Structure 1
Amino acid sequence: MHLTMPYFERAHILVVGDLMLDRYWHGTSSRISPEAPVPVVKVNQTEDRPGGAGNVALNMAALGCGVSLIGIVGDDEAGQILHSRLRAAKIHTNFQISTTKPTITKLRVVSRHQQLLRMDFEEKFDVSDSCEFVSKVKNLINRTDALVLSDYAKGSLLDCQSLIRMARDAGVPVLVDPKGNDFSRYRGATMLTPNFLEFEAVVGKCTSEQDMVDKGEALMQELDLQALLVTRGEQGMTLLRHHQTELHLPARAREVFDVTGAGDTVIATLAAVIASGQTLPEATALANLAAGIVVGKMGTATVSAPELRRAIIAEQGAERGVVTEEQLLLALEDARASGERIVFTNGCFDIIHAGHVGYLEEARKQGDRLVLAVNSDASIRRLKGSGRPINPLDRRMAVLAGLEAVDWVVPFDEDTPERLLRRVKPDVLVKGGDYSEDQVIGNQIVKAYNGSVKVLSFYDNCSTTSIVNKILRQ
């Protein structure tokens, strides 16, 4: 599957669900308490993070989506902290405030990256606590590209059906992260994302892969779902859709550090990609990549757009070396997001010699990343004659990609690289030769957006043509 970075900034998503504050107390522990056989932790750092539906919203905001969030908080300090943290991430908060129940808070004591204790401060909400949800959703649904219901079984989503019907009537897809043993509450949703244990708790023990698929299809039929994504930990994910072959995706995590909030990242990425206009299989593949990133972090965490972009680049094999134009543009997005300057040069590079190597090393010094555009075989024949090139395109690019100075090698079929320059828009255009900057092909394109053009001298007085002529004379 060919993955591309979605245009997340075009999407606006509405999240409704159980809000909570994840509080962390970090410290050192070097002795056991004389009062009881428990470790003594000297707290030296405290941290507050939005959890539950708040973490789902943060994940979407980190990707660049517009996000509105509806949930319940208490009239207390924890609720104020949640509001402040979420607004700082440019999330539009629309809370219903309970005067009788506290903001759900989970306090974790952590030492040496190990969780020693968790304390929960909560009282379950009832229907009266979420009575304003329907009117709040009604005011936002027509400006929404996807609705996410983040259910942590805390009582905020007791009336799911009203919200699902409202979204369906508006043509808005509904994605649900479910909880509990009764999924009938989510009837009519577009998609559910249970983990494997939650799935088995509803459909029964799955004795094989086919049994899981059969039970999943029966569940979709029963609940009028369009899709079901079962997250399976180290076994990856399985996407089920009506009358289509199931899609199994392997886990992508290189090292699992903490699975807290991984489900939030999955549904947030799914919704963000779907709201951006990509297909469900593409959304699932990107959610799988995002989950692999987030489990390598401590606690409730998010995946940023640059992190996801780098994962896509790695998945497509475009970290460096020979790339297609589309892979190059994706890699350049990530490089620019990191503040790197892009250098561009081009040529035939038919027989690689010392002059080429020295020239490319100098070109690389003009910025942080070097893009080398190489004329195709057809292009060289038009420019040099029927006897050229000596080496075909794939061999020339393979050798060039092996040079330390070169980050990406991309072919072009035209006689000049002007079309490619308009797409790449390098910070610096470099060319070797004995002529002025104004004589460099493409200089006007680069200077038009305030890029710079530099002319470098060839090294060792070498040229491919002179090498070829010397061979022919022998």
Structure 2
Amino acid sequence: MYITMPPFEKARVLVVGDVMLDRYWHGVSTRISPEAPVPVVNVSQTEDRLGGAANVALNMSALGCKVSLVGVIGKDEAGQILQRSLTAAGIHADLQVSTTKPTVTKLRVISRHQQLLRMDFEDKYGAEDSSEFVVKVERLLADADIMVLSDYAKGSLQDCQALIALAHRCGVPVLVDPKGHDFSRYRNANVITPNFVEFEAIVGKCDSEREIVARGSRLMADLDLQGVLVTRGEQGLSLLRPDKPELHLPARGREVFDVTGAGDTVIATLAAALAAGQTLPEATALANIAAGIVVGKLGTASVSAAELRRAIIADQGAQSGVVTEEQLLQAIEDARAAGERIVFTNGCFDIIHAGHVGYLEEARKQGDRLIVAVNSDASIRKLKGEGRPINPLDRRMAVLAGLESVNWVVPFSDDTPERLLRRVKPDVLVKGGDYSVDQVVGASLVKANGGEVRVLGLVENCSTTSIVNKILHH
């Protein structure tokens, strides 16, 4: 499946659920307490992070989405920290304040990257603590493309059916990260995303993917769901949809450091991608990549747009070499995010010779990354007549991709590279020969976008035509 980076900045998502504060106390432990057989940790650093539904919202905000959040906090310091952190992350938080219950807080004690202890501070919320949810959600749904219910069984989501019905009346799809042993409370949601343990607790033990599919199909029929995405840890993800082939995606091949919050990242990326216009299978593949990133981090964490973009590029094999236009545009976006200057040149490059190599080495020096756009076979015949090119497009691109100076090689079939230049918007356009800057095709486009145009000299007595003529006369 070809995976692309969606326009997350266009996505508007509403998250409703159990918000919490994740606290981390870091320190070194070198001895056992004389009072009890437990390690003594000398705390040297404390850290507060958004957790639960707040972490789901943070993951979406980190991708560039416009995010709103509805949840419950206590009238305490933890609630104030949560509110400030959400505001700092650019998340519009409309939180109901409970006067009788504390903000749900999880405190983890960590030494040498190992979690030694977790302490939970919570008192399950009741109906009175989320009594304003329907009004708050109704007000925010008008500016949402999708709604996520993030259920951590802390009591904030007292009436999921009312929220789901409200969203559907507004034409907004609903995704649910479920908890508990009664999934009927999520009836009529579009997609639910249980982990494998939660899934088996509802449908029964599954010893094979065939059983996962069969039991998942029954679950979808019973609850009128349009999809179930089962997160299976090291086994990857399984997407089930009524009357459509199942999709099993293997886990990303990287070292697992901490699975805390991985489920948040999956549903956040899934929802954000759907809101940005991707299909459910495409969004699932993207969520799988994002999950592979976040498990390599310690504690509750999010995935940035830049991290996800780089992972997509790596997944598509587009870090360098021969690429499609879409792969090129993603790779350029990542390079620009790193502050790199993009250099563009184009040509036929029929028989690679010393003149080409020297020219491309000089072109690369004009910036950080060099794109070589190569004429298609048909466009060369149109330019140079029958009998050319000598080498077909795939071979010409393969040779260029093997040069150290070249980062990306992309084909184009137009008479000129102007259409491609409009998409790439290079920082520097380079051409070799006796042209003046104004004679270079696409020069005005590049300069209009704030770029530069440079003409480089060529190695004398080196040309494809002269090489071909020499071969023919010998």
Query: The TM-score by the shorter chain falls in which range?
Result: over 0.9
Q: Shift in Å at residue 179 of structure 1? A: 0.5
CA distance in 2, matches of 1:11, 1:17: 19
Does residue 1:389 correspond to 2:386, yes or no? no
Which residue of structure 2 aligns with residue 277 of structure 1?
A: 277
Give the aligned residue type for 2:206: C
Q: Shift in Å at residue 461 of structure 1? A: 4.1
Which residue of structure 1 aligns with residue 441 of structure 2?
A: 441
Unpaired runs of 5+ residues, structure 1, are: none
CA distance in 2, matches of 1:424, 1:211: 47
CA distance in 1, matches of 2:320, 2:28: 41
Q: Shift in Å at residue 455 of structure 1? A: 1.0
Q: Shift in Å at residue 351 of structure 1? A: 1.1
User: CA offsets, 1:196-215, max 9 Å, x none?
Assistant: 11011011111322222111
- SS of 2:47's partner is strand
Which residue of structure 1 aligns with residue 298 of structure 2?
A: 298
User: CA offsets, 1:247-278, max 9 Å, x none?
Assistant: 11111141111000000000001111111121
Does residue 1:363 correspond to 2:363, yes or no? yes
Which residue of structure 2 aligns with residue 313 of structure 1?
A: 313
Which residue of structure 1 aligns with residue 20 of structure 2?
A: 20
- Go from structure 1 to structure 2 and tell me whether the alpha carbon gap of 1:12 and 1:466 turns closer, same or farther (over 3 Å shift): same
CA distance in 1, matches of 2:473, 2:253: 58
Which residue of structure 1 aligns with residue 31 of structure 2?
A: 31
Contact 1:253 1:296 in 2 (8 A): no
- SS of 1:447's partner is helix
CA distance in 2, matches of 1:207, 1:9: 41
Which residue of structure 1 aligns with residue 267 of structure 2?
A: 267
Which residue of structure 2 aligns with residue 252 of structure 1?
A: 252
What TM-score comes out, normalization by structure 2 length?
0.98
Q: Shift in Å at residue 396 of structure 1? A: 0.6
Which residue of structure 2 aligns with residue 99 of structure 1?
A: 99
1-10 or 226-235, larger mean C-alpha shift = 1-10
- SS of 1:2's partner is coil
Which residue of structure 1 aligns with residue 146 of structure 2?
A: 146
User: CA offsets, 1:66-97, max 9 Å, x none?
Assistant: 00001111111111111111111100010100
378-387 or 223-232, larger mean C-alpha shift = 378-387
- SS of 2:28's partner is strand
Which residue of structure 2 aligns with residue 126 of structure 1?
A: 126
- SS of 2:245's partner is coil
- SS of 2:273's partner is helix
Contact 1:8 1:276 in 2 (8 A): yes
Count of equivalent residues: 474
User: CA offsets, 1:34-69, max 9 Å, x none?
Assistant: 332222222221110000000000000011110000
Give the aligned residue type for 2:246: E
Give the aligned residue type for 1:38: V
Give the aligned residue type for 1:245: P
Which residue of structure 1 aligns with residue 56 of structure 2?
A: 56
Q: Shift in Å at residue 378 of structure 1? A: 1.5
- SS of 1:9's partner is helix
CA distance in 1, matches of 2:396, 2:440: 23
Q: Shift in Å at residue 33 of structure 1? A: 2.3
CA distance in 2, matches of 1:444, 1:199: 59
What TM-score comes out, normalization by structure 1 length?
0.98
Q: Shift in Å at residue 139 of structure 1? A: 0.9
Which residue of structure 1 aligns with residue 432 of structure 2?
A: 432
CA distance in 2, matches of 1:226, 1:19: 26
Contact 1:149 1:174 in 2 (8 A): yes
Which residue of structure 1 aligns with residue 410 of structure 2?
A: 410
Q: Shift in Å at residue 394 of structure 1? A: 0.6
Does residue 1:420 correspond to 2:420, yes or no? yes
Contact 1:253 1:291 in 2 (8 A): no
Q: Shift in Å at residue 318 of structure 1? A: 1.3
126-135 or 24-33, larger mean C-alpha shift = 24-33
Which residue of structure 2 aligns with residue 372 of structure 1?
A: 372
Contact 1:178 1:194 in 2 (8 A): yes
- SS of 1:470's partner is helix
Which residue of structure 2 aligns with residue 204 of structure 1?
A: 204
- SS of 1:370's partner is strand
CA distance in 1, matches of 2:15, 2:296: 25
User: CA offsets, 1:277-318, max 9 Å, x none?
Assistant: 211111111111111111111111111111111222222221
What is the correspondence of 1:2-17 to structure 2 with a 5 Å cutoff?
2-17=2-17
- SS of 2:435's partner is coil
CA distance in 1, matches of 2:193, 2:26: 32
Give the aligned residue type for 2:178: P
Give the aligned residue type for 1:14: L
CA distance in 1, matches of 2:393, 2:196: 48
416-425 or 71-80, larger mean C-alpha shift = 416-425
Q: Shift in Å at residue 458 of structure 1? A: 1.4
Which residue of structure 2 aligns with residue 338 of structure 1?
A: 338
Q: Shift in Å at residue 460 of structure 1? A: 5.5
CA distance in 2, matches of 1:161, 1:388: 67
Does residue 1:65 correspond to 2:65, yes or no? yes
CA distance in 1, matches of 2:207, 2:303: 34
Q: Shift in Å at residue 195 of structure 1? A: 0.5
Give the aligned residue type for 2:40: V
- SS of 1:143's partner is coil
Q: Shift in Å at residue 26 of structure 1? A: 1.1
Does residue 1:157 correspond to 2:172, yes or no? no
Q: Shift in Å at residue 369 of structure 1? A: 0.8
Which residue of structure 1 aligns with residue 223 of structure 2?
A: 223
Give the aligned residue type for 2:192: L
Contact 1:343 1:430 in 2 (8 A): yes
Q: Shift in Å at residue 321 of structure 1? A: 0.6
**Displacement over 3 Å in runs of 4+:** none
Give the aligned residue type for 1:436: S
Unpaired runs of 5+ residues, structure 2, are: none
CA distance in 2, matches of 1:200, 1:415: 59
CA distance in 2, matches of 1:13, 1:305: 16
452-461 or 243-252, larger mean C-alpha shift = 452-461
- SS of 2:244's partner is coil
Give the aligned residue type for 1:220: M
CA distance in 2, matches of 1:467, 1:128: 85
- SS of 1:343's partner is strand
- SS of 1:245's partner is strand
* RMSD (Å) for aligned C-alpha atoms: 1.2
Give the aligned residue type for 2:394: D
- Go from structure 1 to structure 2 and tell me whether the alpha carbon gap of 1:384 and 1:205 turns closer, same or farther (over 3 Å shift): same
Contact 1:429 1:446 in 2 (8 A): yes
